[in-house]
């Protein structure tokens, strides 16, 4: 089973700042099968990015994803108030799909 480790656990930032979230896979994975989700309290997760760097329809272009080997990054270029929440990465390249433990982006 591929284990996804997200860091940091919590990111405290102010609106307008840049957020950089990391997701590291325990073994080599194809970047074609890595997704990022945003979850707010009491809501289901929302798909932001699939195939490591493709934005879902309607996701603002301040969200971007990138990959380097087994390391994946979600960047929010300038935080808006609605961007605060918990972010998860997910690998879906094998029959056993896994999620990271999440990074909380909170208002500083």
* Interface with other proteins (CB under 8 A): 1, 33, 35, 37, 44-47, 50-51, 56, 88, 90, 92-93, 95-102
For other proteins, which is the closer residue by CB, 42 or 81? 42
For other proteins, which is the closer residue by CB, 14 or 41? 41
For other proteins, which is the closer residue by CB, 45 or 85? 45
Smallest distance, other proteins to C-beta of residue 93, A: 7
CB 27 within 8 A of CB 96: no
In angstroms, rounded to a whole number, what is the distance separating the alpha carbons of residues 102 and 81?
A: 19
Smallest distance, other proteins to C-beta of residue 52, A: 10
Is the backbone peptide bond immediately before 81 cis, with ω within 30 degrees of 0?
no
Smallest distance, other proteins to C-beta of residue 83, A: 19
Smallest distance, other proteins to C-beta of residue 43, A: 8
CA of 21: how far to CAs of 1, 29, 76, 95, in Å? 22, 18, 9, 26
């Amino acid at each position: 089973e591929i284990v996804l480790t997200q860091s940091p656990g919590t990111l405290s930032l102010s609106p307008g700042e840049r957020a950089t979230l990391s997701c590291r896979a325990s073994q080599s994975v194809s970047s074609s099968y890595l997704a990022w989700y945003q979850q707010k309290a009491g809501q289901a997760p929302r798909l932001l990015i699939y195939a490591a760097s493709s934005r879902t329809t309607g996701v603002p272009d301040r969200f971007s994803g990138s990959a380097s080997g087994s390391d994946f990054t979600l960047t929010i270029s300038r935080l808006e108030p609605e961007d605060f929440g918990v972010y998860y990465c997910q690998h879906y390249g094998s029959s056993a799909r896994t999620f990271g433990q999440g990074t909380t982006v909170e208002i500083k």
